[in-house]
Amino acid sequence: MRSVTWIEDLARRADAVLPDYVSAYYHSNAGDGSCDREGIADWNAFRMRPSVLRDASAQSTATEVLGTPVAAPVLVAPMAQQVGARPEGEVLTARGAAKAGTLLGVSTNTGARFADIAAEGAPWWYQVYVARNRDATRILVERAAAAEAKALILTVDTTPLGREVPAIDPRNWPAGPRKNRTANLTEAELDRFGSDTDMALDLTPDTIGWLADVSGLPVLCKGVLTARDARRCVDAGAEGIIVSTHGGRRLGTSVTSAFALPEILAEVGSEVEVHVDSGIRGGAQAAAAIALGAKAVHVGRPVMWGLAADGADGVATVLGNYQAELVTTLRQLGIGSIRDLGPADVVARGAAR
Ligand code: FNR
């Protein structure tokens, strides 16, 4: 019998406590799900190169992301509909991230108020889906900056989720406590903007500079999968790139993030921080990404499952497990600090044969 990983076990426990429509939304993918599945498999295809007879008595995973210290380069990816997991949503996620000493992304589609999230003490970045009415976005971004968001994550893979089952679309969820509200616009603003808070599909590189001007914050572009696009983002002022397939939820046939990372690092890695997410299912896989040159990884679904199953403690446990696995990997590689992890420590499985 195949052994079950702690993440698979956690997903099962989360699924057991969630209504079907919520757990289906969290699991959902674009197309036939192959981008998600192969995304996970591609991270597992990297192999580390252990090194022995080195002082392995102490390991540090501490680093900085855009100048913010974190206990480990494992951040929480922005995810919508967290009130579907727990009524307090991101407030608990922030509490878990604070316990783990790391930073979280907060989705535009959060049902929690910025001030309540910020009060938990974890540093946070605000994820922006630019609205059709730019005033709605400007108001949200100004409020996020006032609540001490330290950066903006501009999600640029702006197509509606590649999901075809209407029942799991959050807009069709039954009314009740799990139904997300955009908690950071007033009722009057929501009435005024109406459907113009829907995602704009006409973004250009100029959007990056506009957001930086409005907020005074650095902007990272999330959902970049080619060197060409990374270059366009950086030339337009992006201070970071997040390589991401949106957890396989955007284009079912797209390249995976593990495939895309090396070409993006080669293009812009010496100029800006390059982060990565999608399918990173443990500290060992995070170590491979960081050895390749990523500054940090972001974790999506496992954190959501931790939140659903065990609240803030569940979030902290998930992040703590990634960190512990990073420590184990560093120890086996004979490396004292994650800052010293590099390309010589990892190979693609094909090259290892
Ligand atoms: C997401 N993701 C996402 N991304 C974003 O920029 N804004 C959002 O509102 C959301 N919402 C969202 C909801 C749910 C339920 C999931 C699972 C994902 C994508 C997320 O930030 C991240 O890119 C992926 O989750 C990373 O992949 P893994 O770790 O889930 O495999």
Note the pLDDT of residue 171: 84
**Quick check: helix, strand or coil at residue 63?**
strand
pLDDT in tens, 306-327: 999 999 999 999 999 999 999 9
Q: Are 286 and 261 in contact (CB under 8 A)?
A: no
Helices (DSSP H) in 18-59: which residue ranges?
A: 20-27, 34-44
Q: Are 220 and 125 in contact (CB under 8 A)?
A: yes
Domain that holds residue 288: 6-51+61-352
Residue 176 confidence (pLDDT) above 90: no
pLDDT in tens, 224-277: 999 999 999 999 999 999 999 999 999 999 999 999 999 999 999 999 999 999
Helices (DSSP H) in the chain: which residue ranges?
A: 6-17, 20-27, 34-44, 90-100, 114-118, 134-146, 187-193, 206-215, 227-235, 257-268, 283-292, 301-333, 349-352
Q: Which of 324, 140, 285, 152 is nearest to 221 (CA)?
A: 152
Within-domain flag for 56: no
Report the C-alpha gap between 351 and 334 in whole angstroms.
Answer: 22
36 CA from centroid of ligand 1 (Å): 12
Q: Give binding residues for glyoxylate as ranges.
A: 25, 129, 246, 249
Note the pLDDT of residue 61: 98
Residue 350 confidence (pLDDT) above 70: no
Note the pLDDT of residue 237: 98
User: On the CB side of 211, how many CA atoms lie within 13 Å of its CA?
Assistant: 33
Note the pLDDT of residue 169: 85
φ/ψ of 118, rounded to 5, equals -60, -30
246 CA from centroid of ligand 1 (Å): 5
Report the C-alpha gap between 6 and 67 in whole angstroms.
Answer: 32
Atom in ligand 1 nearest the alpha carbon of residue 279: 31
Atom in ligand 1 nearest the alpha carbon of residue 299: 29
Which positions are annotated as active-site residues?
A: 246
CB under 6 Å to ligand 1: residues? 25-26, 77-81, 107, 109, 127, 155, 222, 244, 246-247, 277-280, 299-301, 304
Q: Are 325 and 290 in contact (CB under 8 A)?
A: no
- % of the chain residues with pLDDT over 90: 88
Note the pLDDT of residue 164: 62
Within-domain flag for 1: no
Within-domain flag for 152: yes
Radius of gyration for the chain, computed over Cα atoms and rounded to the nearest angstrom: 19
pLDDT in tens, 109-147: 999 999 999 999 999 999 999 999 999 999 999 999 999
What's the mean pLDDT when you consider all of the chain? Answer: 94
Note the pLDDT of residue 1: 64
- % of the chain residues with pLDDT over 70: 97
Mean pLDDT of 295-311: 98
334 CA from centroid of ligand 1 (Å): 33
We report the CATH number of the domain holding residue 195 as 3.20.20.70
Note the pLDDT of residue 353: 42
Q: Are 293 and 269 in contact (CB under 8 A)?
A: yes
- Sign of torsion, CA 264 265 271 277? positive
Q: Give binding residues as ranges.
A: 25, 78-80, 107, 127, 129, 155, 222, 244, 246, 249, 277-281, 300-301
Tell me how many domains the chain contains: 1
Within-domain flag for 116: yes
pLDDT in tens, 23-69: 999 999 998 999 999 999 999 999 999 999 998 899 999 999 999 99
pLDDT in tens, 207-229: 999 999 999 999 999 999 999 99
